[in-house]
Amino acid sequence: MNRKDLEDQIIENYRKDERMMILAFAQWSINRGLDPQELYERAYPGQKHNPELLAALELTVPKEEAGDVADETVLNMLSVFGNDDLAFVVSEAIRSRK
């Protein structure tokens, strides 16, 4: 594998992991009766229609059919990808629930 192929593979792996993080966030929101788009817009007001979030929403299932996504899991995933503003909004939602 040459350097370019390796770089392309790393980028693609990052994108896959990022899509998984977005899906986990969306499912976590749905499982708790929250609107993932509304939470996202609170965190990033200038990005009303994020195409990756819209794609992830098509893959979510009703909370009755979903496995649990722990609060800590979604916060850790958001942190790893530098989504600190969204992690803050999620933290607020968690605090208001307790």
Q: How do residues 63-83 score in pLDDT, each as one tens digit?
A: 999 999 999 999 999 999 999
Region 36-48: mean pLDDT is 93
What is the pLDDT, as a whole number, of residue 47? Answer: 85
Cβ distance 27 to 61 under 8 Å? yes
Model confidence at 16: pLDDT above 80: yes
Contacts 24+ apart (CB under 8 A), 69-78: 69/24, 69/27, 69/28, 69/31, 71/28, 73/24, 73/28, 74/24, 74/25, 74/28, 77/20, 77/21, 77/24, 77/25, 78/21, 78/25
Q: Name the residue ranges covered by the structural domains of the chain.
A: 3-97
Model confidence at 92: pLDDT above 80: yes
User: What is the distance between the alpha carbons of residues 93 and 98, in angstroms, rounded to a whole number?
Assistant: 9
